[in-house]
Amino acid sequence: MKTRVLEAADLTHLLEAVGRHELMDLMIERLGARFLDHEADAVEVRARDGFRYDKPDLGLVEWMPTHEKGGPVVIKMVGYHPTNPVQRGLPSVIATSSMWDTVTGHLVAIADATLLTALRTGAASGLATELLAKEGPIVVGLAGLGAQAVTQLHAISRVREVDQVIGFDSDPEVAATFIDRVGFLGLDVHVGGPERAATIMGDVDVLCTCTSVDIGAGPVIVDGKTRPWLHVNAVGADFPGKVELPSSFSNRAFVVPDTLEQCLLEGECQQVSSDQIGPALSDLMQRRDEFIGHRQQITVFDSTGWAVEDDVALRLAVELAREHGIGTDIAIERLPQNPYDPYGRS
Amino acid sequence: MKTRVLEAADLTHLLEAVGRHELMDLMIERLGARFLDHEADAVEVRARDGFRYDKPDLGLVEWMPTHEKGGPVVIKMVGYHPTNPVQRGLPSVIATSSMWDTVTGHLVAIADATLLTALRTGAASGLATELLAKEGPIVVGLAGLGAQAVTQLHAISRVREVDQVIGFDSDPEVAATFIDRVGFLGLDVHVGGPERAATIMGDVDVLCTCTSVDIGAGPVIVDGKTRPWLHVNAVGADFPGKVELPSSFSNRAFVVPDTLEQCLLEGECQQVSSDQIGPALSDLMQRRDEFIGHRQQITVFDSTGWAVEDDVALRLAVELAREHGIGTDIAIERLPQNPYDPYGRS
């Protein structure tokens, strides 16, 4: 039995073969279909768990397991090492996803998930924006201009006409390359300095917060007067004590978690009173008529990263790789001809 | 950055290059060294967790994470599907182990762990037998003659002179091939039918129970008069409700867990009163002088499978593979040249 391996170069190849826009559109479509179908009883998700350490630098390796009944088991493994970009020229998030068949226990596929994570996080914000943001054209704000900002903006541009983009980053070197990195979107992008933290909220229709703010160091933007329909995709908070939004703001918004339990532990919901927290995004999508009116209100999508999204992303990547003949099949597991003979010929 | 992949064929190659006896001796040596060095404070082990299901057949996919401070994170993924051998000609246990660097979060290695699991489970019983069994020559009993029985007997034969082997299995087809499968050991092996369950305990110096008994269907052997120094390696119990030994027997033995918490949940310790449960095997080895006298008593090593053993096994396999130039290096993780550009060139 073979395992389909999607290496780094395979993902690049897939990106070129499918096209960035088509890939993002497919990710939004598949994620949307899964959210619309989602039944809590049919999916098991284990709370994200991991090993955290502070030597030589702060970091963690964590696992996000999920199992849709009758489907495969999918686990994403994530390394989060915030000093990677500056110290080592590596992304802060490095991830792989793996899929197991639940008939035999066979490892069906393993793939880079660094790109897939950025894509699915973008796609989730795309879905939230489509449902909750004012209709286009819109002005988009970005707090934090790292890797996630690219796919946040990309996904939003696939669900709304974008008139203008205003972004800032605390690191001028990161800010300096942003316009180039999102050049493929052909948008009107303005990059400011950290002082934009004080004003950005009032100038945009949709805001994405996607920073690597330290635990306890948030919020990353200053509360102030906003447009009455401001929608925020809060993407960066993913650890106890880590938040990006001022609580005075999120407590006057309608807050939509990706998955409530995790958001209460690691997301903006940590600092939001329970009467401001609405149903999860998948519930909202299933009851669209009931919530479409929220486009006129202040809303926050609290996106901590749901294992179900990684399941969707890996399945889509494996499916597209098969279609395009991309990837390698290797026999990782040693399966002796006589299953009772561990030393026997395989 | 490359990931070292040890495929099925690589493990076969490693087995041939190193030699079965040398590989088992090294596994026993490394596991012993790690147990002697073990400090609970310096190792994090997460409780084994997984998804369990009963369609189309009973099965589970589980993960066993561990992290030695300052060292890598190692996770073994295990598929356990007891109908695999009969229904699909596959081993009931299919496993892979992976290792992450804790500086960058990079996936350092992934390897088949089906063979490694059999080896480390054998090696752990080898260490327990060396410490707690009567000095050789000994008669070894085996309840269950599947894959684990091969490495149990192999490991024991590396720490004691074996005079005779008596084994049985409830499945005659499994029993029929056992003598052939352990032919490389050159031992005097006798295979009986299921009726041996009633008598085997009295006829041996060391007994290994390594069956796939169903949850709630144990014990697999009948209590009776034993030699006063009988040592049992109880290997098969690894799930709540699953036990192999009659509780009347284990409650008159000195029971040594591999890792207490897990043994209380899944091992023979489920049915052993706390005053019969001694320190863990690693503690015993660190206090050898204090416990060497137990060779004259009835002892049970309750081996549920400890994540630390998988860490040792994977590190040894990766080290030997490097030494012998075995395995392939592939760039799984997509690391763009600009870490802030998920779509960028890698």
What is the secondary structure of A287-316 as a DSSP string? THHHHGGGGGS-EEEE----HHHHHHHHHH
Give the nearest chain A residue to B334 (CA atoms).
A8
Q: Which residues contact B33 (CB under 8 A, 6 or more apart)?
A: none
Query: Binning pLDDT at 50, 70 and 90, where does residue A339 land?
Result: confident
* pLDDT in the model for residue B86: 87
- Whether residues A106 and B79 touch (CB distance < 8 A) is answered with yes
ipTM, two decimals: 0.90
* Residue A310, amino acid: D
DSSP B87: I
Bond preceding residue B246 cis, omega within 30 of 0: no
A82, B66 in Cβ contact below 8 A? no
Tens of pLDDT, residues B236-278: 877 788 899 999 999 999 999 999 999 999 999 999 999 999 9
| pLDDT beyond 90 at A136 | no
| pLDDT beyond 80 at B346 | no
| Residue in B107, B114, B345 closest to A334 by CB | B114
B345 phi and psi, to 5 degrees? -60, 140
Rounded alpha-carbon distances, angstroms, from residue A344 to A188, A335, B10, B12: 64, 9, 14, 9
Contacts of B148 in chain A (CB under 8 A): 342
The rounded distance, in Å, linking the Cα atoms of B25 and B28 is 5
| Residue in B53, B67, B181 closest to A341 by CB | B181
CA distance B49 to chain A (A): 9
| pLDDT beyond 80 at A346 | no
Token reading at A192:
């400011």
* Residue B68, amino acid: E
- Whether residues B80 and A339 touch (CB distance < 8 A) is answered with no
Question: Which strands, in side-by-side order, build the sheet including A254-257?
Answer: A189-192, A162-168, A138-143, A206-209, A231-234, A299-302, A254-257
Give the nearest chain A residue to B327 (CA atoms).
A332
* pLDDT in the model for residue B136: 87
Query: Binning pLDDT at 50, 70 and 90, where does residue A92 land?
Result: confident
Contacts of A75 in chain B (CB under 8 A): 63, 77
* pLDDT in the model for residue B189: 98
**How many residue contacts between A and B have a Cβ separation below 8 Å?**
253
| Dihedral angle sign, alpha carbons of residues A301, A305, A306, A310 | positive
B77, A107 in Cβ contact below 8 A? yes
A28, A126 in Cβ contact below 8 A? yes
CA distance A16 to chain B (A): 10
Token reading at B341:
């550009």
| Residue in A5, A73, A177 closest to B61 by CB | A73
Q: Which residues contact A55 (CB under 8 A, 6 or more apart)?
A: B70
Closest CA to A256 of A239, A236, A238, A272: A272
Contacts of B339 in chain A (CB under 8 A): 84-85, 89-92, 146-147
- Whether residues A112 and B334 touch (CB distance < 8 A) is answered with yes
* pLDDT in the model for residue B239: 78
- Whether residues B90 and A75 touch (CB distance < 8 A) is answered with no
CA distance B332 to chain A (A): 4
The rounded distance, in Å, linking the Cα atoms of A278 and A260 is 9
Tens of pLDDT, residues B267-315: 999 999 999 999 999 999 999 999 999 999 999 999 999 999 999 999 9
* pLDDT in the model for residue A312: 98
Contacts of A105 in chain B (CB under 8 A): 59, 61, 78-81, 84, 93-94
Q: Which residues contact B165 (CB under 8 A, 6 or more apart)?
A: B139, B140, B141, B142, B153, B182, B187, B188, B189, B190
* pLDDT in the model for residue B118: 94
What angle separates helix A114-132 from helix A147-159, to the nearest 10 degrees? 40
H helix and E strand count, chain A: 12, 15
Tens of pLDDT, residues B110-153: 999 999 999 999 999 999 999 999 998 999 999 999 999 999 99
Contacts of A79 in chain B (CB under 8 A): 100, 104-106
Strands (E), chain B: 3-6, 43-45, 49-53, 59-68, 73-80, 93-100, 107-112, 138-143, 162-168, 189-192, 206-209, 231-234, 254-257, 299-302, 328-330
A230, A254 in Cβ contact below 8 A? no
B165, B153 in Cβ contact below 8 A? yes
CA distance B276 to chain A (A): 33
- How many C-beta atoms lie closer than 10 Å to residue A147's C-beta? 28
Tens of pLDDT, residues A146-183: 999 999 999 999 999 999 999 999 999 999 999 999 99
- To test the contact with chain A by mutation, choose from B7, B63, B103 the residue with the greatest count of A C-beta atoms within 10 A, namely B103
Q: What is the pTM of this model?
A: 0.91
Rounded alpha-carbon distances, angstroms, from residue A290 to A207, A284, A286, A295, B26: 23, 8, 9, 11, 65
* pLDDT in the model for residue A36: 97
- Whether residues B332 and A78 touch (CB distance < 8 A) is answered with no
* pLDDT in the model for residue A91: 86
| pLDDT beyond 90 at B176 | yes
Contacts of A85 in chain B (CB under 8 A): 339-340
CA distance B91 to chain A (A): 5
Give the nearest chain B residue to A119 (CA atoms).
B342
| Residue in A9, A181, A334 closest to B115 by CB | A334
B235, B218 in Cβ contact below 8 A? no
